[in-house]
Structure 1
Amino acid sequence: MSTESRPNDRRLALFPLPFQGHINPMLQLANILHAKGFKITIIHTVFNSPNQSNYPQFTFKSISDGLSESKNINFNLDTTNPVVNFMNRSCIEPFKDCLLRLLKEEPIACLITDALWHFTQSVADSLNLPRIVLRTSSMSCILVYAAIPILNENGYLKTTIQEDPIPDLAPITNKDILKVFNDEFKEGKLELISSMIKNTKAASGIIWNTFKELEESAFSVISQDFCVPNFPIGPFHKYFPAYSSSLLEQDRSFMSWLDQQPDRSVVYVSFGSIAQMDEVGFTDMAWGLANSKQRFLWVVRPGSVSGSEWLESLPEGFIEEVGERGCIVKWAPQQEVLAHRAVGVFWTHNGWNSTLESICEGVPMICSPYSYDQPINARYVTDVWRVGVMLDNGMETARVIKRVIEDKEGGEMRERSKSLQEKVNLSLGKGGSANQSLENLVDYILTL
């Protein structure tokens, strides 16, 4: 889908959080707004800086993030939260200095930052700049996050696991909340979420990578509780042909193998750019794929298995068992894979980008969420949209895979997935809710 550009010479400054699941939607948003006639400046950290050669239409400005001077920060799932908290302190002055330099060159119509850059609200206020927030997860997720203080007071963040939905947050359960806070950095995560919510409510508006029809009830609540304009214009990746803002090198050598597989026969497995697992979990996953007797394309990111460089932890006999049925790669062009006729199910960690991409291609999901927004997304996939199944501990992995690929239940999930796919396309089309929301966003920015 393309957008109609309109004449305007207004400059926007965009500031993505430097992690793959946040960089992608921010750069996609930049493209969408550039097609509407805005000039785009991307402010970015030295850590995980985007590949500028892919975006000759944008201006890039790098700022110091303080990470190179710190010797005590590691970059993996367990420490992502402390890294974000650290950068929200270390980037204040470099970010403000960068904006001041930009403002000397020309006016900035609006600052658009990732919601997790909560410090940017005070900087924007000090410079009298309007700040619009990009929230890269679902609307349903932020409602859960906004309820965290009350959930904490009522004991839902403790170790008692209840399967019943939490009052006023259905279908979310206590078990889901405990997965959100499944690491040793709970206090830091609570601090980050609280600051994010407070400064999102203080912003001039919120842009969402979702569409109204997918989250109708959440949109209604947010419109009342977050008293700023809301613009659900997603899914972002559907506006333009897929191209890479990946921080990891993509492997396309498997495409000829995928082309040879029957329709809807392949289990695509990928757990994103940050999630890590231990050797036991990796071994269980391997044998689950092998014992299912199904074809599979498995993305194993180097370093994603604790204590292993890449495939050293594969169990003995696994390769011989799966033979030509399986294909393992380091990274893959996910949108292209999910759109392929051979893919029958997506086994995912349920990051929001991955969840949206699966919905957009009508592919049912097997859900194995780890932390952050993933348990919330997975619960909506299984219990609200009913386009996937949760793979809980103790469930036989091979049987779950077969249920989705072979059984009637999987066929019904696929039909519901195709129905959601149609809603996506209608929303993005002329007169659709996402299309109209984008027009409203452009008009709004031009009035700031």
Structure 2
Amino acid sequence: MAEMDQKSVPHVLLFPFPLLGHVNPLLQLAELLCLSGLSNVTFLTTKHHHHRLLSFTDARTRFSSFPAFRFETISDGLPDDHPRSYTHIIDIFTGVRSVMEPSFRELLFSNYFQSVNRPPVTCIISDGLMSFPIGVAKELGIASMDFRGTGASFLWCCFRHLNMVEAGELPFKDADMDKLITSIPGMESFLRCRDLPSFLRGCRGKVLDDSLKIVSSSHDLRPNATIINTFEDLEAPILAEMRPHFPKIFTLGPLHALLSTLHSGRSISSNNSLYEVDQNCITWLDSQQPNSVVYVSFGSIVMMTHTQMLEFWYGLVNSGKRFLWVIRHDFVIDKDESFQVPADLTSETKERGYIVEWSPQEEVLAHPAVGGFLTHSGWGSILESMMAGVPMLCWPQIGDHHTNSRFVSDVWKVGLDMKDTCDRLTIEKMVNDLMDTKRDELMRSMEEISQLARKSVGKGGSSYGNLEALVNRLIAYPILF
């Protein structure tokens, strides 16, 4: 390597979209590249998320063993006290377009990331929600890759949006949400209107146009390759439909499990969390019976009203099951200082429940006391649940959740779908279905999927081999692009 011309030495820049669920998987990929022998890796994220990484994770320590790795920051254009939650997603997109995009161009064109000991950037791996890094890469004559922390199925839905419009399936012409969508190859027999991504469900006029611009932007500028956090055996039929339309697809998931493989099996479960983790919940789980606890978490950005929270609370309590529930400080939309939890819920929760602001999720799912996962159906949570072998009850809300939950329940059959409902009777029934009535059949499917997931990230597995192929391409650039 020392004898190579500096311009031929690979230098990979990773650039996530500024939301927690997007920062984590790209940081995992950055560590995978470092562990695979790429010495020059730069991780560019907002000052806000960089501060949280340093405050709540051991990222600085983990990456200290890679001398040529660099954390770099960029402004998102938002004030320090901005909540940066999904309810303010328009602010985030505005900041990306008005501040991050011109700043990113300036950094790349000024060779900011190059130094005496560091070669210029040879490849940009950017989040699929941002197309401008691909345009910058093309102008500079370097490689670009589109990173997707979501599943292939969701990406395929987005890719086919124009076909849905041409077929008259978008926008919806009636209120029949159970009508099948027939213009997405590989999904014709089971995907309904209600299973489409949230920004396509019921959108009309300008709202639909704006949503389509977001999901289709990366197809206007074609990257050299697409990296997806999935594994071949999970989404093989959809990947087969996609590959003729994409230059190159690398499936590397589950990323967190592949990272564990490269760490010789050591889990790094909570170390990328951008929230302060409450480890006391593990002590509580230690005192519970095997498969007796429902783990409840709706991720880092989903919010609900007080009314919805009470419905879930009563549903969980009335199910008679023990539960561990993650309730973030910003979880409730309509905050009311006068709100008080009903006394019966308080007493029942003390008896059978445990509530934390944030948990070490991978560790929780792997705990023998956990028998089911009530989730928002975020892709990272689904993969973590599959690796742990824990069946799911899905309550999808935004983004890819609605599509994911349909695959969980009707394709992979490793969980139940509770979309478009939020009442205590339904929640109580479906929690009992998850933990008792339908548990055996869900576990049979889950055990098979878990085995395939573990195989994919092991030596000789598809994701393991794809990581090697990706690294070889990055080292050989520009020959293999």
**TM-score, L = length of structure 1:** 0.91
After TM superposition, give the deviation of residue 101 of structure 1 in Å: 1.4
CA shift in 2, pair 1:168/1:160, >3 Å: same
CA shift in 2, pair 1:389/1:34, >3 Å: same
The residue number in structure 2 matching 1:262 is 289
Query: What SS does the corresponding residue of 2:44 show, helix, strand or coil?
Result: strand
Structure 2 letter corresponding to 1:131:
S
The residue number in structure 2 matching 1:156 is 170
Please say if residues 12 and 108 of structure 1, whose CA atoms lie closer than 8 Å, have aligned partners that are also in contact. Answer: yes
Please say if residues 193 and 201 of structure 2, whose CA atoms lie closer than 8 Å, have aligned partners that are also in contact. Answer: no
Matched, 1:83 2:67: no
Pairs aligned (count): 436
Structure 2 letter corresponding to 1:359:
M
The residue number in structure 1 matching 2:33 is 33
Query: What SS does the corresponding residue of 1:40 show, helix, strand or coil?
Result: strand
* Aligned with residue 110 of structure 1, among 102, 123, 140: 123
Structure 2 letter corresponding to 1:26:
L
After TM superposition, give the deviation of residue 291 of structure 1 in Å: 0.2
The residue number in structure 2 matching 1:11 is 11
Deviations 1:119-176 (A, max 9, x none): 1111111111211111110000011011223334524333623314311432221112
What is the CA–CA distance in structure 2 between the aligned matches of 1:259 and 1:60, rounded to whole Å?
A: 37
CA shift in 2, pair 1:431/1:195, >3 Å: same
After TM superposition, give the deviation of residue 74 of structure 1 in Å: 6.0
The residue number in structure 1 matching 2:217 is 195
CA shift in 2, pair 1:107/1:148, >3 Å: same
Structure 1 letter corresponding to 2:146:
V
Structure 1 letter corresponding to 2:30:
A
Structure 1 letter corresponding to 2:93:
V
CA shift in 2, pair 1:144/1:313, >3 Å: farther
Answer with 301-310 or 285-294: which moved more. Answer: 301-310
What is the CA–CA distance in structure 2 between the aligned matches of 1:152 and 1:274, rounded to whole Å?
A: 29
Answer with 282-291 or 128-137: which moved more. Answer: 128-137
The residue number in structure 1 matching 2:232 is 212
Structure 1 letter corresponding to 2:10:
R
CA shift in 2, pair 1:219/1:329, >3 Å: same
What is the CA–CA distance in structure 1 between the aligned matches of 2:219 and 2:323, rounded to whole Å?
A: 40
Query: What SS does the corresponding residue of 2:354 show, helix, strand or coil?
Result: strand
Please say if residues 197 and 403 of structure 2, whose CA atoms lie closer than 8 Å, have aligned partners that are also in contact. Answer: no
The residue number in structure 1 matching 2:146 is 133
CA shift in 2, pair 1:309/1:343, >3 Å: farther
Matched, 1:231 2:250: yes
CA shift in 2, pair 1:172/1:222, >3 Å: same
What is the CA–CA distance in structure 2 between the aligned matches of 1:335 and 1:310, rounded to whole Å?
A: 33
The residue number in structure 1 matching 2:476 is 447
After TM superposition, give the deviation of residue 81 of structure 1 in Å: 4.8
* Aligned with residue 166 of structure 1, among 156, 173, 181: 181
Structure 2 letter corresponding to 1:147:
R
What is the CA–CA distance in structure 1 between the aligned matches of 2:243 and 2:209, rounded to whole Å?
A: 29
Query: What SS does the corresponding residue of 2:32 show, helix, strand or coil?
Result: helix
* Aligned with residue 276 of structure 2, among 232, 249, 259: 249
What is the CA–CA distance in structure 1 between the aligned matches of 2:443 and 2:303, rounded to whole Å?
A: 29
What is the CA–CA distance in structure 2 between the aligned matches of 1:311 and 1:26, rounded to whole Å?
A: 41
Deviations 1:338-369 (A, max 9, x none): 01111100000011100110011111000000
The residue number in structure 1 matching 2:136 is 123
Answer with 166-175 or 138-147: which moved more. Answer: 166-175
CA RMSD in angstroms comes to 2.4
Please say if residues 78 and 183 of structure 1, whose CA atoms lie closer than 8 Å, have aligned partners that are also in contact. Answer: no
What is the CA–CA distance in structure 2 between the aligned matches of 1:335 and 1:150, rounded to whole Å?
A: 38
Structure 1 letter corresponding to 2:150:
S
Quote the sequence identity (%). Answer: 31
What is the CA–CA distance in structure 1 between the aligned matches of 2:368 and 2:177, rounded to whole Å?
A: 39
Deviations 1:97-135 (A, max 9, x none): 222212355232311111112111111111112111111
What is the CA–CA distance in structure 2 between the aligned matches of 1:76 and 1:311, rounded to whole Å?
A: 23
What is the CA–CA distance in structure 1 between the aligned matches of 2:325 and 2:199, rounded to whole Å?
A: 25
Query: What SS does the corresponding residue of 2:412 show, helix, strand or coil?
Result: coil
CA shift in 2, pair 1:284/1:217, >3 Å: same
What is the CA–CA distance in structure 1 between the aligned matches of 2:278 and 2:198, rounded to whole Å?
A: 31
The residue number in structure 2 matching 1:146 is 159
Gapped runs of 5+ residues in structure 1? Answer: 1-6
What is the CA–CA distance in structure 1 between the aligned matches of 2:98 and 2:76, rounded to whole Å?
A: 9
After TM superposition, give the deviation of residue 192 of structure 1 in Å: 0.8
Answer with 257-266 or 319-328: which moved more. Answer: 319-328
Please say if residues 65 and 91 of structure 1, whose CA atoms lie closer than 8 Å, have aligned partners that are also in contact. Answer: yes
The residue number in structure 1 matching 2:332 is 305
Runs of 4 or more consecutive aligned structure 1 residues displaced over 6 Å after TM superposition: none
Please say if residues 265 and 294 of structure 1, whose CA atoms lie closer than 8 Å, have aligned partners that are also in contact. Answer: yes
Answer with 246-255 or 378-387: which moved more. Answer: 246-255
Deviations 1:15-71 (A, max 9, x none): 1112111111001001110011112111112232232634333311112222239x9
* Aligned with residue 433 of structure 2, among 399, 403, 418: 403
Please say if residues 28 and 256 of structure 2, whose CA atoms lie closer than 8 Å, have aligned partners that are also in contact. Answer: yes
What is the CA–CA distance in structure 1 between the aligned matches of 2:460 and 2:338, rounded to whole Å?
A: 49
Please say if residues 381 and 387 of structure 1, whose CA atoms lie closer than 8 Å, have aligned partners that are also in contact. Answer: yes
What is the CA–CA distance in structure 2 between the aligned matches of 1:135 and 1:424, rounded to whole Å?
A: 18
Structure 2 letter corresponding to 1:24:
N
Answer with 38-47 or 14-23: which moved more. Answer: 38-47
Structure 1 letter corresponding to 2:14:
L
The residue number in structure 2 matching 1:4 is none
CA shift in 2, pair 1:92/1:160, >3 Å: same
Structure 2 letter corresponding to 1:399:
K
Please say if residues 269 and 298 of structure 1, whose CA atoms lie closer than 8 Å, have aligned partners that are also in contact. Answer: yes
1:307-346 matched pairs, under 5 angstroms = 307-308=334-335, 312=339, 314-346=341-373
The residue number in structure 2 matching 1:360 is 387
What is the CA–CA distance in structure 2 between the aligned matches of 1:86 and 1:188, rounded to whole Å?
A: 16
CA shift in 2, pair 1:112/1:367, >3 Å: same
